[in-house]
Structure 1
Amino acid sequence: MTDLLDIWAAHSPLAGHAPDQITVDFLLPTGIYIQLDVPREATIQHIKLLLWKQAQSFPLFPALGEMESHMFECVNQAAVHEELEDETRRLCDVRPFLPVLKLVTRNCGRAERLLDSKIGVLIGKGLHELDAINDQEVKDFRIKMFRLSEERMQRVQMMTCTEWLQACFSPQLEPPAATAVTDGVNDRAADLKVIIHFDQSQVSAADPDGEQNRFHTFMLCSHFSTLQQVQTCVWDVSSPFKIVLVKGSKVNAEETAKVQVRAGLFHGTELLCKPAVSSESSGQRASSEHTWRDNTLEFDISVCDLPRMTRLCFAIYAVMDKVKKQKSTKNSHINKYQTIPWVNTMVFDFKGQLKTGDITLHCWSSFPDELEEMLNPIGTIQTNPYTENATALHIHFPEYSSHPIIFPPFDKVRQTDGRPSRDLQGVTAKILKPCDRTLKLLALIRLLVCGKKFYIELKEIMERDPLSQLCENEKDLIWTLRHDCWENFPQSLPKLLLSVKWSKHEDMAQLQALLQIWPKLSPRDALELLDFNYPDQYVREYAVRCLRDMSDEELSQYLLQLVQVLRYEPYYDCALTHFLLERAQGNRKIGHFLFWHLRSEIHMPAVSVQFALILEAYCRGSIPHIEVLKKQVEALSKLKSVNELIKLGTIKNARSKTKEAMLTKEAMMTCLRQSGYTETLSDLHSPLNPNVQLSGINVERCRYMDSKMKPLWIVYNNKLLSGDTLGIIFKNGDDLRQDMLTLQILRLMDLLWKEANLDLRIVPYGCLATGDRAGLIEVVSSADTIANIQLTSSNVAAAAAFNKDALLNWLKERNSGDALDRAIEEFTLSCAGYCVATYVLGIGDRHSDNIMVRSTGQLFHIDFGHILGNFKSKFGIKRERVPFILTHDFIHVIQQGKTGYTEKFGSFRQYCEEAYLVLRKNGNLFITLFALMLTAGLPELTSVKDIQYLKDSLALGKTDEEALKQFRQKFDEALRESWTTKVNWMAHNVAKDNRS
């Protein structure tokens, strides 16, 4: 939705004049309406003074009382009421939906209301929306976070300046980055400058109006409401678990359709028992309501055997009478059903109590591919907030006891293990239950008979990659020898967890007792335990304990995944949330990226409340950071307005490209020169890197790019490096999250190679998603695309791609003598790195406009819209027929123009092979990181099958010799078929030349 105030300003360059005054309608609490022209650059405080002066001549003015006791409200861009408590904001920055301001009487607690208003604007979701949620879990979480944040801010106030700096900013210096935005060599020494700004008004947590008493009273009432009650342990309830289907409403099915409900109980992705299926419904077409004759669904599992994190998953579908014969597809099992809305809910609530009573679940209509039993256990447990058109399933949880049924605390779990915890160590045999005795005794006998051979087989199972499936016999073997795994294969914990019979509460208790003495895993290995397959609370708490050993730098490396796996957490108050908040509030840089990773997805219904709660908690515990982040949010809002102006201008002038370019660029510059834009866009910390201070925009060098979404190319003067500039690309309309993931993995590859003493000069430039299909990309200085380098060397676009001397000549023009030798070495190393990386990650759509070279020689790739082998095709023919890009003009540079394969080419090939072997050693880590992103909604990462590409490209499961043989074949293929790449590049150059 377009900001009208900005659109008025945005149109002005095209119209030739700028409206300094805006006509605003004011609604007073006395019932009086006043229309007044006010300066668009005026602050809210100044506008209130103008209104007060004008209101004196209207009736009932004395009834208004004191001016300070009032504030404005407006309807914001999200179509909700926003209280303008912060009166230092300007009208042009408020972004109301319409130029209407309502004057309302302030309540007590102005300081707290001002903070709430700032946080609401900052996170993009008003806190009054959270206040309105009638959910005890939300209320309890906010109360707890408020208390913890208050305690943190009190500790901050007691810190000395040195302690505060050390607590908020990492004292460690970052290593020289390959993406340095200076023209010099990356290894050069840089001066360290520290700028400290003290804003006492932000650090103070004083509450002169006593608003905090409201929260203390609320907390006290909450404690009284949770008095100890008589409770029943779930393990004492032997009845089969069942639910009652009350009705389904707004079911989009034909009048004669046979609507059924399928329900399944899951622990992670493990189906605990056979799904239950309802009878066919009797539908009422007029109301789209359906009821079922046999409306009780009974499951083949006792209540006592339900794990704590059991999910109840539903699918509603209409069976088609006639199914057309068609070829089998991956969705063929869905084709016979008309509609499949789905929804999930937890069996236990956030307090561990078995749910009872009526509940309405609003379903989701998007149906993922390849779901087991048509159910979606990996989907969110949140119901669809858009209830108006959503299918609703009304169910009833029966009562099994006259008292609340609760999941036992950990002390009772340990008692159920059957022996004191001190006896766990060194024990390799257990008293077995009769139902399990036969299988497990056979496994033990096999161990005694086979000896070393059996141990080797167990070792082979434990060393498999995370995608490898375990058969039932292997699971039984691992579970029987769980103490041997603990002693000899501690890194095998994920496979042990997959071998637990979670539908048997005795096995679950034994596992949790063993978990208490399990050795700590390395943080990298522990990441796998946060996957959806491991939902148990104690497992995830153990994983977080391992993550606490991460340095801030390592945590920053994996923060993207850690934010995404918050989606797997069924309850707001969990160990991972506390860990992320603790580390973010202890290091400003981690807090910065945690904020943006959360805020960029707050528009998504499935995580909107959860992410808003975490953002609120972070802001309350990091009050000094609020103004810094607020400045960035406002700057991005201005850039979005400029982008919308450009899109509007290009549409109006679509018939004349010359006129379009001239008028639109003029409009853009005029807009950027306006004081409202200049002030907002100047003197802020870069969202891409909070260590970089963006001083002022160099308007003359700013432009927009000639692609569909008209990205902005914004050039900043660098405040710390006089004379240099920084470039940032702002995109509005493109989802940058897949680029962000790919660049994160490239950064990790660079780190792993450096740990192996192999520096391949990777350029993992900055990329950050900041909102719904919006974000920023770092401009790498002194670099150009292969396409531009080739086109400038030839007068004919079709011939440019075949000029093998173009790239080498371009480097010679910018480097001479020893500098040229260094540039070619940089090119050789970086080319090797990107050949291996693009092959392993299956990066597609590699044309000459998304491969770039720096003047210092580094080659690097950009624009990662296609990954994991999703190569583009045309007319059913794959456009890319090579495993990675290795053209003869690249070889020409590597060999410094010499013909034949020289020693330098041999070194290049050796770099590639060494790099490939390093990545293979860390194959499990790459699979884990992609698996943790499965629910992020990336278009080319939606199922485990997508990750299978990594397993194949890294040749996991093969020996190093076998894998190296496979890679060498791919290398030869890339070299042999490089002519196809040149043909594609020629076609791209011709198409680009025709567009210009």
Structure 2
Amino acid sequence: MPPGVYGMQDVWEREGWQQINIEFLLPTGIYLNFPVARSDTISTIKKMVWKNARNEPLFSALSDPDAYVFTCINMTAEREELEDEQRRLCDVRPFMPILRLVAREGDRVEKLITTQISLLIGKGHHEFDSQKNHEVNEFRTKMRTFCEERAQVRQMLPWEPWMEFNFPCDLEPCSVVAQSGKSHSGKKILVNVKFEGSEVSDQNTSSLWSIHEPFYIYLLQGSRVNADEGMKVKLLILFTCLFIYLHLYIDCPLAWVNTMVFDYKDQLKTGEFSLSTWPSVPGDLLNPMGTVEKNPNIDSTAGLLIRFPNIRPHPLYYPPIEKVNFCGKKYNHLKLREIVDNKNYTEFFEDEKELLWKLREEVRQRYPESLPKLLLITKWNKHEDVAQMVGLLRKWQDLPAIHALELLDYSFPDPHVRSFTIRCLGNFNDELFQYLLQLVQVLKYESYLDCDLTCFLLERALSNKKIGHFLFWHLRSEMHVPSVSLRFGLILEAYCRGSIFLIKSLMKQNEALNKMKALNDFVKSGSQKATRIQTTEDMKVCIKQDTYMEALSDVVSPLNPSIVLCELCADKCKFMDSKMKPLWLMYKDKYDHVGIIFKNGDDLRQDMLTLQMIQLMDVLWKTEGLDLRMLPYGCLSTGNKTGLIEVVKNSDTIANIQRNNSNSAATAAFNKDALLNWLKSKNPGDKLDQAIEEFTLSCAGYCVATYVLGIGDRHSDNIMIRETGQLFHIDFGHFLGNFKSKFGINRERVPFILTYDFVHVIQEGRTNNSEKFERFREYCEQAYKILCRNGTLFVNLFALMKAAGLPELSSSKDIQYLKDSLALGKSEEEALKNFKVKFNEALRESWKTKVNWMMHSFAKDNR
């Protein structure tokens, strides 16, 4: 059956088809059809066309071959001109086996770049054009100019700054981290908003503050509501100064949609607007965290038609900064007094709010880091208060960038606040990379495409190759999410415009990932029909094909742009036993071997977040002179449930070590000598003392880290040890106290893993070596106290990740575990006392861990 019947995408993945019949449409109206090899370049194919066309009519009407270019319909359903004639047909991957020859016209380079960017980001530029949206068009124009200007500046850099851009140092983030304030989500349920009386009125400026009427909207029509005709569907509306939240419900939520009161030009909206809703999550009454984008699936979702009234015959604007400052100066005569510092992170009483607001100037002067608390009690529907707050912000000293991160939460939507926040984030240097994951997520809270955060991230990405690399992949990995695909796609397009020289490398990475996915699908299919040994051999044969070897070799590692994955060692590659059959790929270069794991079917973003927190803990500990030998290995989500994990060489799981050093699988989990004997075998003579020290330090670090983060599913296959003695944890599918249970019984009954075989290693195999164990306990207590002193930072970073939509981190309630484990609001003495109780419990109940490990081993062996 010809390839066109199935679609060419199937053909490109069916590696056995080495030749494909292609239909060629010539500009003279002549039709040709002949087979070409999948590995042929476009240049070779063009020569073959000319050779075959010589015997056809109207051949003399054709000009020189260079005057023409092939076009096809690519995988993004877009017409693509194949300008790069050194590309192979299998890399072009046309949707159908049809190539049309057309005369060249326009800017060849520009067309090639546009096509490459569309393929790279997975969204054709025609999709942006089809929006017919002024905001989108203006944003694209502005960001293209912004990025291209910075690219030109970069080209003019002297040698040293150019080296710093291309080869940024792998420095650890800034070591000085202090506590910051707590985020509170205010409760705003209003049916009608009225801006309270104002003495400011200036018709010439068309200021919103000249209006005294209540603000309202009309609901004109609802459509496609999934409910029986007899049911009464209700609409819940929540107004704030900037947003309108709408929620359809009967007895339970049906759908929601958010929209702005002002457009991206700060003009009060007027006229009719059609809003396509998003499906509700059961239990959520409103979704203030949700996007302000409409659902693109307009045919299958409930729709609302609303109208904003024309309050005045002329446009009304949110007051400009000059007007805000003028209004604010009238209220600066209040006397200042002391402020009550809310150290217990509790909700404010009304009298405390009044006092805090009354003494706001003193807050600015003496307690600048309490800005989030002041913002949360500001009456944003009263423009005198807004004027006061904005005036204060202009005078407010920059907060440490670490503290300013909290202000990116959705609780602080005011554009002046967000501008102030970005100003503070400008104090980040190389340590910005440490928080890039959160900064990408809070882009989802931005009301408009053109915002300070987007410009800030693009500017940093275009001035630091490492930041740019990871910004690209953090955005690219969520392009399948409808609510952010437009925003993220536009930012990706802008970044690529400013990084033309990196497009080829990024496309090579993308092609390698596509090949890994195809290989993984092949393994999954094969493992259902054949033995593991046979499937592994078939996998190696597949890898050794030219198309795979070429695509998977000499590619920049998405995990680390400073590493090039050179030569793929096909004979050392394998797949792993877990359900999704992850690929284990090994590379070699001049000096060493590098391994990566490709996973397809698991969301790695939770692992990324956990490893980011472990990396941050490591920095905080080292800052205070405590090196606990942590190992936050590389992990990167690259697409919808796909991603890469770094292979930690010369390491093995606790489970394997116990099984290989025990006579019986049934008793392996209870063999307390297995770990120590293994370390002895890997570290003969004087090396053993250092290995035990590595084990002691790293065990302390991971005991504290897994307790604080509430890491679950801690069995012996998820804890590993390097031959040097360094212990580390892997696979973080459960955190924040979401522990596994079986038949309703909690399988994990200890605060963290501290088994007697671990203690046996720490005590060097001597049961009476209490001095070594007490030193281990001191490491744990010291590490815990350091984290408690920085507890608010961890809470804020997790809060900013709520936008990611992780199943175990979707609301403020999910973060309560973290607040409890870090003892927020308690003294250091109280916190340490509680930790000591947990430490003793982990040691006393460690036998339960052993039983759990034994049951896990049995279940694994009997699969």
* Structure-2 change in CA distance of 1:753 and 1:342 (3 Å): same
Question: Alignment partner of 1:241: what SS?
Answer: coil
Runs of at least 5 residues in structure 2 that lack an aligned partner in the other structure:
174-202
| Residue 366 of structure 1: how far off its partner (Å) | 3.5
Number of the residue aligned with 1:221: none
Q: Would the aligned equivalents of 1:475 and 1:498 in 2 still touch at CA under 8 Å?
A: no
Is 1:377 aligned to 2:288, yes or no? Answer: yes
Report if aligned partners of 1:783, 1:852 keep a CA contact under 8 Å in 2. yes
Q: Residues 654-709 of structure 1: CA distance to partner in whole angstroms, max 9, x if unpaired? A: xxxxx432332222212211222212211122111111121111111001112211
Structure 1 contact 566–576 (Cα < 8 Å) conserved: yes
**How do 1:892-907 and structure 2 match up within 5 A?**
892-900=760-768, 902-907=770-775
| Aligned residue identity for 1:537 | P
Contact 1:25 1:100 in 2 (8 A): yes
SS in 2 for 1:246: strand
Q: What displacement does 1:512 show?
A: 0.4
Looking at structure 2, the residues matched to 79 and 254 of structure 1 have their Cα atoms a distance apart, in angstroms, of: 38
1:781 match: 649
Which of 699, 710, 734 is the aligned partner of 2:581?
Answer: 710
Q: Quick check: 2:289–2:803 contact (8 Å CA) kept in 1? A: yes
Indicate how the Cα distance of structure 1 residues 697 and 5 shifts in structure 2: closer, same or farther if over 3 A, else same. farther
Q: Deviations over 1:58-108 (max 9, x none)?
A: 556566656445444444444554443433322212233443444455441
Match of 1:601 in 2: 478
Structure 1 contact 260–316 (Cα < 8 Å) conserved:
yes
Deviates more, 1:790-799 or 1:81-90: 81-90
Cα contact 1:714–1:727 (8 A) shared by 2: yes
State how far apart, in whole Å, the 2-side matches of 1:375 and 1:986 are: 45
* Aligned amino acid, residue 145 of structure 1: M
| Other-structure match for 1:532 | 410
Q: Which one of 94, 119, 138 corresponds to residue 117 of structure 2?
A: 119
Q: Does 1:91 align with 2:89?
A: yes
1:635 aligns with 2:512: yes
Rounded to whole Å, the distance in 2 between the matches of 1:851 and 1:780 is 12
Query: Structure 1 pair 11/139, CA: closer, same or farther in 2 (3 Å)?
Result: closer
- SS of the residue 1:408 aligns to: coil
Per-residue CA deviations over 1:439-468 (Å, capped at 9, x if unaligned) read: xxxxx8xx6xxxxxxx4x712x1x344xx4
**Between Structure 1 and Structure 2, how many residues are aligned?**
830
Say what the alpha-carbon RMSD is for the aligned residues: 2.2
TM-score normalised by the chain length of structure 2 = 0.93
Distance 1:393 1:27, change over 3 A: farther
Aligned-partner Cα distance in 1 for 2:61–2:261: 55
The alignment partner of 1:406 has SS state of coil
- What is the CA–CA distance in structure 1 between the aligned matches of 2:814 and 2:280, rounded to whole Å? 19
In the TM superposition, 1:29-44 aligns within 5 A as 33-44=31-42
State the Cα distance separating 1:230 from its structure 2 match.
Answer: 7.6
Q: Which residue of 2 aligns with 1:931?
A: 799
Q: 1:10 to 1:504 in 2, by over 3 A?
A: closer
1:542 matches 2:420? yes
> CA shift at 1:606, angstroms?
0.8
Which is worse superposed, 561-570 or 96-105? 96-105
- Are 1:801 and 2:672 counterparts? no
Q: CA deviation at 1:376?
A: 1.2
Instruction: Rate the CA distance shift 1:879–1:64 in 2: closer, same or farther, 3 A.
Output: farther
| Alpha carbons of structure 1 residues 508 and 696: separation in structure 2 relative to 1, 3 Å | same
| Distance of aligned partners of 1:32 and 1:900 in 2 relative to their CA distance in 1, 3 Å threshold | farther
1:317 aligns with 2:249: yes
Equivalent residue, structure 2, for 1:144: 142
Instruction: Output the amino acid matched with 1:633.
Output: N
Closer, same or farther in 2 for the Cα pair 1:230/1:41, shift >3 Å?
A: farther
Structure 1 length-normalised TM: 0.80
| Distance in 1 separating the partners of 2:484 and 2:7 | 29
CA shift at 1:971, angstroms? 0.7
SS of the residue corresponding to residue 329 of structure 2 reads coil
Contact residue 342 and residue 376 of structure 1 kept, 8 A: yes
Structure 1 residue 378: Cα displacement? 1.0
Aligned-residue offset at 1:775 = 0.4
Is the 2:329–2:391 contact (alpha carbons within 8 Å) kept by the matching residues of 1? no
SS of the residue corresponding to residue 826 of structure 1 reads: helix
CA distance in structure 2 between the partners assigned to 1:844 and 1:525 by the alignment: 29
SS at match of 1:247: strand
Q: 2:563 aligns with which of 668, 692, 697?
A: 692
Judge conservation of contact 1:789–1:807 (CA < 8 Å) in 2: yes
2:344, 2:826 within 8 Å by CA — same for their partners in 1?
no
5 Å matches for 1:84-233?
84-170=82-168, 172=169, 174=171, 232-233=206-207
Q: Which moved more, 1:29-38 or 1:230-239?
A: 29-38
- Aligned-pair identity in percent equals 57
Tell me if 1:838 matches 2:706. Answer: yes
1:88 partner amino acid: Q
Which SS does the other structure have where 1:458 is aligned?
A: coil
2:813 aligned with 1:945, yes or no? yes
Q: CA deviation at 1:47?
A: 2.3
Whole-angstrom distance in 2 between the partners of 1:528 and 1:263: 27
Q: CA deviation at 1:49?
A: 3.1
**Alpha-carbon spacing, 1:48–1:519, altered in 2? closer, same or farther (3 Å):** same
Match of 1:342 in 2: 256
For 1:76 and 1:709, how far apart are their aligned partners in 2?
29
Pick from 578, 591, 600: which aligns with 2:455?
Answer: 578
**2:18 alignment partner in structure 1:** 20
Deviations 1:387-445 (A, max 9, x none): 1211111111111111111111101111111349xxx6xx653xxxxxxxxxxxxxx8x
Task: Compute the displacement of 1:131 (Å).
Answer: 2.0
Say if 2:705 is the partner of 1:870. no
What secondary structure is seen at the aligned counterpart in 1 of 2:586?
strand
| 1:501 paired residue number | 379
Partner of 1:435: none
CA contact (8 A) 1:10 1:671 kept: no
Pick closer, same or farther for the CA change 1:519–1:7 going to 2, 3 Å.
Answer: same
What does 1:425-504 correspond to in 2, within 5 Å?
Answer: 429=335, 455=338, 458-459=340-341, 461=342, 463-465=343-345, 468-504=346-382
Residues 5 and 92 in structure 1, CA contact (< 8 A), matched pair in contact too? no
| Separation of aligned partners in 2, 1:399 and 1:751 | 55
Residue in structure 2 matched with residue 45 of structure 1 by the alignment? 43
Which of these residues, 221, 232, 238, is aligned with residue 258 of structure 1? 232
- Pairing 1:242–2:240 present: no
Q: 1:706 to 1:31 in 2, by over 3 A?
A: farther
Residue in structure 2 matched with residue 620 of structure 1 by the alignment: 497
| Secondary structure at 2:22 match in 1 | strand
In structure 1, the residue matched to 2:196 is none
Q: 1:69 and 1:242, CA in 2 relative to 1: closer, same or farther beyond 3 A?
A: farther
CA distance in 1, matches of 2:655, 2:379: 58
- Which 10-residue stretch deviates more, 931-940 or 664-673? 664-673
Distance 2:635 2:436 in 1: 14
Q: CA deviation at 1:40?
A: 0.5
CA distance in 2, matches of 1:161, 1:45: 37
Letter in 2 for 1:588: K
Q: Tell whether the 8 Å contact from 1:6 to 1:92 is kept in structure 2 after alignment.
A: no
CA shift at 1:640, angstroms?
1.1
- What is the letter of the counterpart of residue 540 of structure 2? M
Q: Is the 8 A contact 2:9 2:95 kept in 1?
A: no
Q: Contact 1:785–1:849 at 8 Å: present in 2 too?
A: yes
Cα 1:10–1:244 shift into 2, 3 Å = closer
- Counterpart pick for 2:613 among 742, 745, 748: 745
8 Å contact from structure 1 (residues 713, 730) kept in 2:
yes
- Give the Cα separation in 1 of the matches to 2:789 and 2:538: 54
1:813 paired with 2:681, answer: yes
Pair 1:914-2:798 in alignment: no
C-alpha change, 1:976 and 1:949, in structure 2 (3 Å) is same
| Residue aligning to 2:194 | none
Counterpart secondary structure, 2:217: strand
State how far apart, in whole Å, the 2-side matches of 1:622 and 1:842 are.
40
Where 2:566 maps in the other structure, the secondary structure is: strand
Cα distance change on mapping 1:344 and 1:86 into 2, 3 Å? farther
Shift of 1:157: 3.5
Match for residue 882 of structure 1?
Answer: 750
The Cα shift of 1:9 comes to 6.9
Is 1:798–1:987's contact at 8 Å kept on the other side of the alignment?
Answer: no
1:680 corresponds to 2:551: yes
Matched, 1:400 2:332: no
Distance 1:877 1:140, change over 3 A: same
